[in-house]
Every structure is written in C-alpha cells, then in structure tokens.
Structure 1
Amino acid sequence: MSTQKHPGGRLSLFQAAYVVARRDFTAILFSRAFIFFLLGPLFPVVVMALAGGVGAQVQQGAGVASVGLAMSAEDNRAMLKAGEALSERLGSAVPPMSELRAVAPGETFDARAALQKSEGQLAAVVTGTPASPHLTATEGSIERWQGVISMIAAQAEGQTLAYPEVATSEVASSAAARNSARINTAQGGQVLLFLLIMLLASMVLSNLVEEKGNKIIEVLAAAIPMDALFLGKLFAMLAVSVVGIAVWGTTAGIVLTAGGVSLSDYAMPGVGWPMFMVLFALYFGMGYLLLGAIFLTIGSQAKTVREVQTLSMPATMLQVLVFFLSSLTITNAGGWIDWLGMAFPLSSPFVMVAHAAMDERLWPHALALGWQALCVALFVRVGASMFRKRVMKSGPQGAIKGKESRRGPVGFVRGLFSKGSAAAR
C-alpha cells in the first residue's frame, strides 16, 4: 500500500478505511463478546423450523411429478382423455400426463434415455399400446402408478371390467427425482444464506451505536474522511463475519464427518459442490455488503439504541419478505417472479444461490455478480453520503479538532488504533 498522504497530513480514502477496518477488526476479534457471538447460530434453529412451512409449500408446488406418453399419436390422445376423466374422480391419485412423443408404427423409443436426459418433472414414461402398456420409472414411481396406468389404459381401450397388465422397467433415477433433490439443496442454501446475513449484519448497528454513544465517531470524523469511516466499518464487519463462518463451518464439518456424513449423501448441485461453495461465499459477501450498508446508514440517522431498533425494523421486515419472495422463485424458474428476484438487489443473492443448485449454467452467475457489485458500489456511495451528513452534525467538533491539531490527524488515528488494540487485549 502506498504511504503517500493528502496535503495537510490527512490519510487518503483507502488508507483511512484500512486503518478503521484494522482497528475495528482487531478490537472485535479479541474481545470476550466475540466468543459469545460465536454461539449465536444455536438460536436461529428456531427460524429454520419456521421456514420449513414455506419449504413445504414450495415442495408441494414444485414436486408434482408427471408421466410422459410415447405411443402412437392416436393412443396418446386416448390415454390423455382417459387420464383427464379419471382425474376428475380420483383427484391427485392420477398423475399429470403429457405427450412426450408420437411414435410411428415399427419405431422403437428409448424410455430410459428419455428419463435420464429430460429436465423438469418427468418421472415416468409409458410406451407400447393401451392394450399392452409398458411403464418405465424408478422403483417408487412404479409402485405408486402401476395400478393407475392400468386403469387409464383400460379406459382408453373402452374396457370396464378387464384391466391390462402393465409391464415395467426400473431406472435408478429420473429428471423429477433429480429436480426434487436439487430443490432441497436450493432451499437449504437460501435458508443458510438468509440466517448468516441477518445474524451477522446486525453487528454493524451495535458497533456503530456504541461508538456514537462514547463520541468516538466525532473523534474519527475530525481526522479522516467520513467515506473512509463508512467503508472501514463495513468491511471490518465483513471480515469478522468471515472468521465466524470459518469457525462454524469447521466445527460443523468435524461433527458431520465424525457422524459419518459426507457431501455425497446430499443431492449434487447443478454447478457441482466446489463451484456451489465458491458462489455461495460470493453471494454472501454481496448480500452482506448490501444489507450492511443499509444498516450502517440507518444507524447513522439514530441517536439512541431505541431509535436504531425502531428505524431498523422496516429494513429487517423487508429482508424477511425478500427471503420469502426468493423462495417462491424456485417454483417459477424463468417466470416474471424469477426475473424480478434476480433484478432486485436485496433478493438477487438468494435467487442466484437457488439457480446454482438447480442449473448447470455458469454465465448467469457472472452477470448477476457484476450487477450485484454495481449495486454494492451504489449503496455504499449513497450510504456514505448520508452517513457523512448526519455524523458531521451529531456533536461538537471544535474541541475535538483543537485536540487533533496538536497531535496531527495521522498520529491521532494511529494512537486511537493502538489504544483500541490494547483495550481488546
């Protein structure tokens, strides 16, 4: 880092931000309160239980598996008509059916390959004829639908007493099974990202209110640019959060490994586990900086802890609503809700984590990260401007500037950093 300073001995923006970030990071990391903070994740388990209700709704909307028909065009139409008629009487016991392909006479159709390569909710394929249907599906789907397909085929043939025997072929997995498993991974990623951001972003408020109460903010305002103070505090809290996540992640990994649990026991995300973890870390950083900038701006507008709680409540409730909106995008991939979730800055990290779990493509993440980085820069710029205007009016600065002039701003900040580090130790 360059050691050049601005005229008058003042530190540059990034130098001053680094000094503030280093001071805050050291003071928090070596404090007793940080030990108790690491125990914080034990409490959000309650939130995870509440989020299970939304998860069940998502599974209900997204987990409806369908059966594809690959018979002749005439037989496909007869099966579809019979399925609709039975559905009116039997309800959800009859699976949704669609024409996968019209098979010409003498043509063979590879149902196994169709199930392996297809996307979406296709869980089984019916081939052959209504008089001699053949069901290809996973073991669970065969047990569930073999009798139903026989009833549909009988009605398609005009039979009311004799039901044809349904031949079966078992496959290891299907598109519907993979999609359902990836939905679970997407939901888990969203819930974990939400809990981490909400738990860790609140530290920004408590740290700011404490320093406003003991007038440290006014002292720093006399020595360094306010934009640097804003940046330093924001990135210091992000660094502390990364340390906390590293401790929690290591502990969870040791416990799960000791219990014989590995990532292979869970559904593989669309982009693979290594890339999913990288993208999760990047989206956490973006989401934290966005919400942290909002919280830091709110904290600068308040004079007391009570005012902070009152002003931060709308932002907290908004983030909860954003999380629920993001959860709904799982069942609306490619729809307007999905595009809205990706475009709105606060929901974009959650939506893209779900996309990483369900989709193999990587280029959408490059676009999303670029857009989120632009929004972070805008949020920080606006927040720092409001922060500067408010803090500069928050207390008497004449006496502070008089003290600072005798020691010089650079020496004053360095002395303040040294005292903060000594107090932490």
Structure 2
Amino acid sequence: MNAFLKNMFVIARRDFLAIVATPTFLLFLLAPLFMIGMGAVGGIGASQLADSARGKGRIVAIVAAGDVEDLRAADDRLREALPRGERPVTLEIRVAGATPADPFAIAQEKGADTYAVLSGPLGKPQIVEREAGSSAGRYLALLASDVLRDRAAGSVAPAAPQFQSIRSGGTSIAAQQSMGFAAVFVIFLVTLLLAGQTVGSLAEEKGNKVIEILAAAVPLESVFLGKLLGMLGVAILFLSFWGVVAVAGGFVATAQMDPAALAAASKPAAALAAAPASGWGFFLGIGVAYFIMAFLLLGSVFLGVGAQASTVREIQMLSLPITIFQVGMFSLSAAAASAPGTGLAHFAQIFPFSSPFAMAARAATDGDKAVHLLALGWQAIWVALVVWLSVRLFRAGVLSSGASWKFWQRTRRAAATVTPDALD
C-alpha cells in the first residue's frame, strides 16, 4: 500500500509540475479576466441599450391647467410606492388648449415611443393605448382616480403610518434555497471548466508511448489516480489564486471607501444577515469538499474517456456526451435545490454523479451535518469504482492485456487462418 501511494503521488507531482511550470499556465490562470472583461463589456452595452430604450418611452396626459399639479403629485406618490423595476415610463403632462389635443397624433409623434395618452376631464377621461389592457393605460386611469379621490377627501389629513421591522430570528426558506442553487451553479461551473483538462492528458501520452513506460513501471491504478490528483492540485491552485485576488481586492476597496460610508455599510443588512441552515463555516467547508468530490468524479470519467481516445477528434466526440450528461446532472440538482425534502431531491442526493451538487444544496436548507460524512464516503466509493473501471477498459482495449480483448484477437486470428481448402 505504501508503494502504491508513493507511486501515485510521484505521478501526481509529475503531472502537476508539467502543467504549472509552463508559460501557458499563466494564460490559463488569467483566463477569467478575459471572461469577466468580455462579460462586463457586453453587460455595459446591454445596460446602455436598455436605458436608452427605456428613456425614449413615455405616457402622456393632456389635462386642464388646474389639474397639472395634482396629477404630478399623484404620479410622484404612486411611483414612490412601486418597486424600482415596476415603475412605469416617464409621464409627460401637457396643458389642454396650449398644444394640439389629438391623442392619436400625439401617439404617432416621432422621437419617442408613446404607450398611452390620456385626454379629457379626469372624471371621464379618454385613454388611447398602444396595446389593449396595457399597464400604461391602467396607470393613467389610476392617476385620474387618485386625483379625484384626493379632492373628494377635502381637508382630511393624510395618514401618518409608523413602520416597524419584522425580525423572525432566522433566514427565510427562499433565501436558503437561493444559497443552495448558488452552490450548485458555482460547483458545476468550476468543475466543468477545470475537469475537462484531464481528458487530453492520457491521449497525449498514448501518442508518444509514455503511458506504456509508466504502465510497465507502476500499476495503472496509481497512474490514473496520480493524474487525477495532479489535475486536482492544479484546480485548487487556480481557485486559491482567485480567492486571494478576491480577498485582496475587497481589502483595497474597503481602504478606498469613505469612513462614513464604511460605517453605514457595516450595519447588518438583511442580505448579509442571511445564513444557511448549517452555518456559514460548515457550508463553505463542505462546499469545498463537494467540489473536490465532483471534480474527482467528473475528472475520472474524462480520464477514462481520454484513455480510450487516440486523436483529438475522438476526444471531442467522446467528451460531448459526457458534458451533456453533466449538464443534465446540473439541471437535476438545480431542481432538487428548489424542492428540498422531496423524492426528486433524495434521488439527486443518492445518484452518484449528481450527489455532490445536490448535497451542497442540502447544506443550505438542512442543519443535519452527519449525513454529509455519509455522502462523502458514498461519492468516494464511486470515484474508486470509476477509476477501477477506466483502468480495466484501458488495459483491455488499449494495452491489449485483458482476457476479453485477447479472446477477440485470438478469434480474429483463427478466422484469418481459415482457407477455402480447409472448409472443403
């Protein structure tokens, strides 16, 4: 066992240094910068386009001069009560008689998208809208009703409510389910990004006959596990680098903030006070453990695929079904994260290839911690099983040392030696 572990760590160190000690690793390490940069550029462009389109939209009210201030006050009050994302487009108020009052002509004016036009007395307004039953038309009707209601109230003083905060003493179920989905998404994305690097490691060494030298020197199980651990070390180095960059960036941003703003930001907000059911420390720690298990499971499958492939085209053809399968596991785990405690969630937690994702989501909604040790052991068994199966397939199909492969070769040689004279 000591020799097996020693050989495994030698292979792991060899593959780790072969990847890290190259100039191209720096490009791989900085690849998220290019992704973030391109995403930021696209997001800024989309935001500017959306703001530009939103700024050109309007609703128009053509009212008497005495109704202008009341209508504007009602509009300000209603907008303040609505969430920012649900507020209507800009209200443009025109005085009747000062400008043409034809609502259809106003709706066809160039330079802005007019969604609805109100005209006539507020007690019986005429509303022309682009789409029947639109929210813009209903909003104009609500404005007219609100003005009339205020006038009917007369000198009645407005309500003076006293607001109090509801403190439940815990995090809502919806917030915990959102944390579970976030854990599933992050583990899936990072695993898919990094585990795919293992698929070409064995295919490359098969081409230059290095794998045959390694197979002659050490057990193939040590070779496969060593390569898997070497790629895991690369993945952990990648995540550690960006974790340090994120923490350092946070400290720099905090140092540049105004002290007053920093003091205001330090007050516990509802979003920051939210916590997973198992606690932040355990949730983050078990998330890292499940990332390692997901990487080992997916990496062992990719390693087995790379062991069977001989060319880049074969690698691509064999990797695509596995990637599609992994996306299916992500969808299953995401559905389980939104429905904790159901049969679907239990199936996703037991099925080995979705178990790391689903169990990470469970840590956000369930405070039971002992079950995660059982899940990690179950996933480790499947990692060993996949590696064992990959080794057997590699030995039988590539090194031609398996019994079934030898039997197939003997059958083919026997068929080739049969002649027409022998049949006679």
The normalised TM-score by structure 1 is 0.58
The 3-state SS of whatever aligns with 1:222 is: helix
Question: What amino acid is the match of 1:245?
Answer: L
Deviations along 1:271-324, whole A, 9 cap, x unmatched?
A: 122111210111011111111110000111111011001001000011011101
Is contact 2:191–2:294 with CA below 8 Å preserved after alignment? yes
Alignment of 1:284 with 2:291, yes or no, is: yes
More displaced 10-residue stretch of structure 1: 216-225 or 340-349 = 216-225
Is contact 2:171–2:275 with CA below 8 Å preserved after alignment? no
Partner of 1:84: none
Partner of 2:241: 247
Q: Give the aligned CA root-mean-square deviation in angstroms.
A: 3.0
Q: Alignment partner for residue 390 of structure 2, among 380, 383, 396?
A: 383
Instruction: State the Cα distance separating 1:169 from its structure 2 match.
Output: 8.0
Instruction: State the Cα distance separating 1:31 from its structure 2 match.
Output: 1.2
Q: Distance in 2 between matches of 1:308 and 1:178?
A: 45
Partner of 1:330: 337
Instruction: State the Cα distance separating 1:379 from its structure 2 match.
Output: 1.5
Number of corresponding residues: 269
Partner of 1:16: 7
Superposed, which structure 2 residues align to 1:74-153 within 5 Å? none
Partner of 2:363: 356
Residues 188 and 377 of structure 1, relative CA distance in 2, 3 Å threshold? same
Q: Distance in 2 between matches of 1:302 and 1:293?
A: 14
Partner of 1:28: 19
Instruction: State the Cα distance separating 1:168 from its structure 2 match.
Output: 9.1
Q: Distance in 2 between matches of 1:315 and 1:48?
A: 27
Superposed, which structure 2 residues align to 1:175-190 within 5 Å? 178-190=172-184
Question: What amino acid is the match of 1:268?
Answer: A
The 3-state SS of whatever aligns with 1:259 is: helix
Question: What amino acid is the match of 2:199?
Answer: L
Q: Alignment partner for residue 301 of structure 2, among 270, 294, 300?
A: 294
Is contact 2:355–2:375 with CA below 8 Å preserved after alignment? yes
Partner of 1:215: 209
Alignment of 1:191 with 2:185, yes or no, is: yes
Question: What amino acid is the match of 2:239?
Answer: I
Is contact 1:13–1:228 with CA below 8 Å preserved after alignment? yes
Instruction: State the Cα distance separating 1:229 from its structure 2 match.
Output: 1.0
The 3-state SS of whatever aligns with 1:368 is: helix
Is contact 1:332–1:338 with CA below 8 Å preserved after alignment? yes
The 3-state SS of whatever aligns with 2:353 is: coil
Residues 24 and 352 of structure 1, relative CA distance in 2, 3 Å threshold? same
Q: Which has the higher contact order (CA 8 A, sep 6+)?
A: 1
Q: Distance in 2 between matches of 1:272 and 1:205?
A: 36
Residues 210 and 299 of structure 1, relative CA distance in 2, 3 Å threshold? same
The 3-state SS of whatever aligns with 2:200 is: helix
Residues 176 and 18 of structure 1, relative CA distance in 2, 3 Å threshold? closer
Instruction: State the Cα distance separating 1:224 from its structure 2 match.
Output: 1.8
Is contact 1:217–1:391 with CA below 8 Å preserved after alignment? no
What are structure 2's unaligned runs of at least 5 residues? Answer: 41-158, 255-264, 402-424
Residues 239 and 180 of structure 1, relative CA distance in 2, 3 Å threshold? same
Instruction: State the Cα distance separating 1:328 from its structure 2 match.
Output: 0.7
Alignment of 1:200 with 2:194, yes or no, is: yes
Question: What amino acid is the match of 1:180?
Answer: A
Superposed, which structure 2 residues align to 1:305-324 within 5 Å? 305-324=312-331
Question: What amino acid is the match of 1:269?
Answer: P
Residues 296 and 31 of structure 1, relative CA distance in 2, 3 Å threshold? same
What are structure 1's unaligned runs of at least 5 residues? Answer: 3-11, 50-164, 395-425
Deviations along 1:258-280, whole A, 9 cap, x unmatched?
A: 33499985332221221112101
Instruction: State the Cα distance separating 1:47 from its structure 2 match.
Output: 12
Is contact 2:294–2:353 with CA below 8 Å preserved after alignment? yes
Q: Distance in 2 between matches of 1:256 and 1:181?
A: 24
Is contact 2:184–2:357 with CA below 8 Å preserved after alignment? yes
